[in-house]
Chain A
Amino acid sequence: MKALDNFMQKIKPKADGKFPLAHAVWDGMYTFLFVPGHTNHNGVHIRDGIDLKRTMSMVVMALIPSLLFGIYNVGHQHFLAIGEVALGDNVCSMFWDKFIYGAIQVLPIVIVSYAVGLGIEFVFAAINRHPIQEGFLVSGMLIPLIMPVDVPLWMVAVATAFAVVIGKEVFGGTGMNVVNVALVARAFLFFAYPTKMSGDQVWISLGDGKAVDGFSGATPLGNAVEGGVNAIPSIMDSIIGFIPGSIGETSVIAIGLGALILIVTGIGSLRIMLSMCVGGFLTGLMFNSFGTSVYSQVPALHHLLLGGFAFGAVFMATDPVTASQTNTGKIIYGLFIGMMAILIRVANPAYPEGVMLAILLGNVFAPLIDNMVVSANIKKRLKRVKTA
């Protein structure tokens, strides 16, 4: 390791030299290989072992189960659609074929997302002469997981660039953005190229194959518009996740594994996850009791398992930069998103995927919620003066 360290030090470009980009890239590489041995001088002499890189890599680790399952499911849906595996034959035949096919479809999206996003981050770091901040490590993994598999790679590139520049860098970079970067990418595509982001053509990669007769490639929520409640897969299917959908969102089990990692390490906010589920569940119950439309008849519990709800609750709503920051605020924020997600889903069949919009809306309201919570604290302090 010493040799590597020496080598890296030898090729170190000057920070204020002719090529700031070279220094930014070097700095990014170096701090990736080594946690630099800076020591404390003012204030505390000892510091917690954690840093932002570790925090972010924990989240990426939590996303791995969803990614792996997503890859497999892409292949599974492909072979299901062209009729090479039978419905219900989830894991027995062609396991590796499915996995390899899925990897060929999914990994390019991941690579494009990281390459474009990190490229832009490096450029901005060079312009602003900042070190590279780690925020994009997570966004770069989230973006592929919330895309339909058939999305063209150039769209991923455009959406990522838009999200990083408009969603984040214009606000000042990592830690300063108002709305979740990955969701900005998805929302951008959703409104700019709606035909590639919804309907029944995009969720399954057919490749050169041809779909068998009578196969519907729509997501369960899309199906429900036409086929009614009966078209929705069973609770069991939506938990395990062999259904069409965005790459990473279908399996509640894989998402649950990620949630476990986030909760155990203390990085993801359990408050937000739970309160969002409670909000969604209660709203679902409410619609069940008097709703007549197809969506409102979906059982409340089932709502939480379908579409992007679980994925959004675990990985999107909990983004610490865009969520509420106070503990009380987090609960209100989670309830709000849960309610809005189901409300949008049920009340407006044009947007069966209400979770994305609900979280974006929640992000916008988060500072307001915090402001209410903090104002209450300020009022309490003022009252203390008067009574004293």
Chain B
Amino acid sequence: MSKEIKIRKGANIKLKGVAEKLYTNPVNVSEIVLRPSDFPTLIPKLMVKVGDKVKAGSPLFFDKENEKILFTSPISGEVVEINRAEKRRIVEVKVKADGQNAYESFKQADPSTLSREEILDNLLKSGVWPLVRQRPYDVIANPNDKPKAIIISALDTAPLAPDYGFIVHGQGDIFQMGLNALAKLTDGKVHLNINGNDNADEAYANAKNVQINKVVGPHPAGNVGIQAHHLCPVNKGEVVWVLRSLDVLTIGKLFKEGKFDASRTIAFAGSKVKSPKYVRTILGANISDIVKGNVEEGGRFISGNPLTGKQITENGHLGFYDYQLSVIPEGGNNQFFGWVAPGFDKFSLSRTFFSWLNPNKEYDLNTNMNGEERAFVVTGEYEKVFPMDIYPVYLVKAMITEDIDKMEQLGIYEVAPEDFALCEYACTSKIETQKIVREALNLVKKECS
């Protein structure tokens, strides 16, 4: 029994520099970094000190709220730096590769033969667990919960996003192994949501133990939260676990090979990339080896997509959840009478620029705000790109005023910052919507637990 989810509200932002479906030459990974800030609300407790030798899968720190959740090293090597900010808050833990590829060993078995507890235990110990996130709050799933469903998105509709099907291609057995593990974790259904417009990759088409749904429509149709809203909306007190199909590969590899194999394929894309392609690398890898000689001057490096990603330096590191490295032009130039120019090269969801006459054009957008922050004036913009049965502006206003009752009534349990990314993009008043949503989720989580 499969469902078709049709998303009508939303928009695809077509940017120049989509990754070609080819792999680059193998890239060396010299060091990796794990950043606790990739995990909202996490309070980390260190388990290593500088100079410790670690294997891939050795724990680096754990979650103070739930000591079973471990964060392990993606490579074998030596802990070389632990950077802290004010109040000794941990910013990043850096591991330098020793080139030996030594792995901690974990349970290696077909998950269908294991119990729920054994599967959970294996996921938690190996450090794979943080890939499983939950609604509400968009944080790492709590292993003590019983989710009413698990939702896996097999498509990414964000600008410059990788084609998940291309990456999963040929790894059907590993993928199925991961699905089997997830199927044991819930009494409800495991939903695998695939792109309804494409021919599904055989890894998806042959997937068993799951309900396969087709999703069609513009961004944010690929967001798991949007899919969850249309399949099984999260009510107060309920929990849904969410993943991307690429996360399932890492889970599959854990059970197939008995090790934490953190290698992943990312899309290296954007108009500042000389030849945008796919790169095989490792979670948290330093990007300098990837970008060296392959990008033009004046780019901004973003781990993730240009809507939700994090700005990093040329020598920065990929985020825990990111399968994409975008390089887009840095802005910063004043625009003479920019507010009245016809704007053939500006992309806008309104039709106030002549560029709307040319809907298929690919744009080379820079990081300019194109305006200044203002009071909220224009209505109807958020609604146009927010495909949930929720009033986004009212919810955001409740968030700003920290009115928890109102947030609950208006549906805060279903949303994540990424669902508001397009609203933030489209906002005439240049309001930082995702930040507001994140802070509100942190507040509600703190107050309600």
Contact = CB atoms under 8 A, between A and B. Distances in A.
B338 A35 contact: yes
B435 A34 contact: no
A388 to B, nearest CB: 6
B331 A44 contact: no
Contact of A384 (B233, B367, B370, B433): B233
Interface string B384-410: 000001110110000000000000011
Interface residues of A, number: 60
Contacts of A346: none
B307 A326 contact: no
B306 A50 contact: no
Given A55-B377, A176-B375, A43 B433 contact: yes
Given A36-B372, A174-B377, A320-B379, A45 B339 contact: no
Interface in B348-374: 348-353, 355, 365-372, 374
A31 interface: yes
A172 B350 CA distance: 27
B362 to A, nearest CB: 13
A226 B166 CA distance: 79
Contact of B410 (A54, A325, A378): A378
B19 interface: no
A175 B377 contact: yes
A149 to B, nearest CB: 29
Nearest to B347: A49
Nearest to A319: B377
Contacts of B433: 43
Contacts of A51: 339, 370-372, 374, 428, 430
Interface string B1-28: 0000000000001010000000000000
A380 interface: yes
Given A321-B377, A378-B409, A384-B233, A47 B338 contact: no
Contacts of B353: 49-50
Given A37-B332, A50-B371, A381-B409, A44 B421 contact: yes
Interface of A is mostly: loop
A52 B331 contact: no
Contact of A35 (B334, B389, B421): B334
A116 to B, nearest CB: 21
B105 to A, nearest CB: 40
Nearest to A385: B235
Interface in A1-48: 1, 4-5, 31, 33-48
Contacts of B337: 33-35
Contacts of B409: 378, 381-382
B380 interface: yes
The range of chain B's interface size is 35 or more
A4 B336 CA distance: 10
A35 B334 CA distance: 6
A213 to B, nearest CB: 49
B15 to A, nearest CB: 8
Contacts of A173: 375
Interface of A: 1, 4-5, 31, 33-55, 57-58, 131, 133-135, 172-176, 264-267, 269, 320-321, 323, 325-327, 330, 373-374, 377-378, 380-382, 384-385, 388
Given A49-B347, A49-B352, 18 more contacts: A4-B336, A33-B337, A37-B331, A45-B300, A45-B302, A45-B311, A46-B13, A46-B159, A46-B306, A46-B307, A51-B372, A53-B339, A54-B371, A55-B352, A57-B339, A266-B351, A320-B377, A388-B235
18 contacts: A34-B337, A35-B335, A37-B335, A39-B330, A39-B332, A39-B366, A39-B367, A41-B311, A43-B433, A44-B308, A44-B424, A46-B15, A52-B378, A54-B340, A57-B340, A133-B374, A267-B350, A320-B377
